[in-house]
Amino acid sequence: MNNCGDLQVDREVLFLESWYETGRRSRITTTYGIFYSPDSPLTLIDKASMLLSFPNGERRKATRHNLKAYEENIILFSHCGFAAFPTHPPSQLGCVWIFKHPYTLEAVSTFKTRIIYERYGIAKEVDASIHALSKQRKRLHEIVF
């Protein structure tokens, strides 16, 4: 587990979460390890040029209509082909950004789910229902593909 102030969000990131230690504001789990950054998750996402988002302005209306998803949802993607969605609104403390990689979901309880990246031998429990995560993953795939 390294402090890495210059680590960038790229295709190797599995998930990104807020972290609260002195000098560490983000915990970045990648396919090759866990790193910490002094930047917040939203700052790292901004640096990765993941500012293209659905929904956004007129795209919001079209996306909600096409997906029949009228509640607020956020899916970010970059020109480089990587995408992510949050487990909660980004302003909440327990928000974890999940990036587009193959994973399986396992219900731990009604409002807690384990995300398992079998290929990398990594698992993460998040405070979100399996249903909510499945819907967000489906939206991500519908928008990206």
Distance in angstroms (rounded) separating the CA atoms of residues 14 and 19: 16
pTM over 0.85: no
Q: What is the mean pLDDT of the chain?
A: 78
Distance in angstroms (rounded) separating the CA atoms of residues 123 and 121: 7
The answer on pLDDT for 22 being more than 60 is yes
The pLDDT value recorded for residue 1 is 43
Model confidence pLDDT, tens digit, residues 83-107: 888 888 777 788 899 988 999 999 9
Model confidence pLDDT, tens digit, residues 56-85: 455 555 545 554 545 555 666 666 677 888
Distance in angstroms (rounded) separating the CA atoms of residues 138 and 84: 12
